[in-house]
């Protein structure tokens, strides 16, 4: 009886934590996704390929990571975007003739997270 009560309390606590506080999935300004990806994607292969690692602060679940990845994938010039929730790192391979690191950073900000460029 006592044991069962304790388990119930623990579950309640976990539930309360999950529902409160941290921005989850698409926070305040989810409409930013459309703005971030408004430009059309061109699929012409290009030579000036670079990779940037960006720490993305504020991701709290897989939905957050997917939202960031989708926003990056849709940027013209982004060839590949990998977003890892456990390390909070996004690795973006992009064509620097078509998109800049600043634009990539901006796309992450627009879906509600805080990007910090680690290395270019």
Interface with Cu ion, residue 25, by CB under 5 A: yes
Q: How far is the CB of 103 from Cu ion (least distance, A)?
A: 23
Interface with Cu ion, residue 66, by CB under 5 A: no
Render 9-45 in DSSP notation, one character per residue.
Answer: HHHHHHHHHHHSSS--SS-TTTTHHHHHT-SPP----
Nearer to Cu ion, 6 or 30 (CB): 30
CB 91 within 8 A of CB 53: yes
Only one of the segments 16-24, 31-39, 47-55, 102-110 lies at the binding site for Cu ion (rule: CB under 5 A); that segment is 16-24
Nearer to Cu ion, 24 or 49 (CB): 24
Residue 43, C-beta contacts closer than 8 angstroms, at least 6 positions apart: none
Residue 48, C-beta contacts closer than 8 angstroms, at least 6 positions apart: 95, 96, 97
Candidates 39, 46, 49, 61; binder of Cu ion (CB under 5 A) is 61
Only one of the segments 8-16, 23-31, 77-85, 94-102 lies at the binding site for Cu ion (rule: CB under 5 A); that segment is 23-31
Interface with Cu ion, residue 13, by CB under 5 A: no
Other CB atoms within 10 Å distance of the CB of residue 39: 14
Residue ranges binding Cu ion (CB under 5 A) = 24-25, 60-61, 63-64
């Amino acid at each position: 009886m006592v044991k069962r009560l304790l388990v119930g309390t623990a579950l309640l606590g976990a539930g309360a934590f999950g529902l409160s506080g941290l921005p989850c999935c698409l926070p305040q300004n989810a409409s930013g996704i459309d703005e971030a990806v408004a430009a059309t994607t061109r699929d012409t292969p290009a030579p000036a390929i670079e990779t940037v690692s960006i720490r993305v602060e504020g991701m709290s679940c897989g939905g957050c990571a997917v939202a960031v990845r989708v926003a990056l994938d849709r940027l013209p010039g982004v060839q590949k975007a990998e977003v890892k929730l456990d390390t909070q790192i996004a690795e973006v391979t992009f064509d620097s003739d078509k998109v800049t690191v600043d634009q990539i950073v901006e796309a992450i900000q627009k879906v509600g997270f805080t990007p910090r460029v680690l290395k270019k």
